[in-house]
């Protein structure tokens, strides 16, 4: 791959699929999706601990619920 094609690839936004049930969002932007709630929550807690000022949440695509994760790693259910 030459430099021009490589630079073009780097500028493209990362595609995000909604195939998984649980979606991890940081400051309102979807970052990753998971098949299991535990994996999504663990990833969210890790981000929240490292960057306590960010709003980190996990959304259940099937149930339509959100869990906001705080630095204390305690999910707070929101409708």
Whether residue 37 has pLDDT greater than 90: yes
Residue 78: what pLDDT?
57
Provide mean pLDDT across the span 27-42: 95
With bands split at pLDDT 50, 70 and 90, how would you rate the model's confidence at 73? very low
Provide mean pLDDT across the span 26-42: 95
Q: Beta partners for 26?
A: 29, 56
Distances 28 to 2, 7, 10, 20 between C-alpha atoms, Å: 35, 27, 22, 18
With bands split at pLDDT 50, 70 and 90, how would you rate the model's confidence at 19? confident
* Count of positions (residues) in the chain: 79
> Which residue in the block uniquely carries the two structure tokens 């663990």?
42
| DSSP string for 32-78 | EEESSHHHHHHHHHHHHHH-TTS-EEEEETTTTEEEEE-TT--EEEE
Provide mean pLDDT across the span 26-36: 94
Whether residue 72 has pLDDT greater than 70: no
């Amino acid at each position: 791959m030459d430099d021009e094609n490589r630079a073009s690839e780097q500028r493209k936004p990362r595609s995000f699929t909604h195939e998984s049930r649980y979606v991890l969002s940081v400051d309102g932007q979807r970052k990753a999706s998971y098949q299991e709630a535990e994996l999504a929550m663990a990833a969210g807690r890790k981000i929240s601990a490292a960057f306590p000022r960010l709003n980190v949440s996990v959304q259940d695509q099937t149930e339509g619920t959100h869990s906001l994760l705080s630095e204390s790693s305690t999910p707070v259910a929101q409708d």
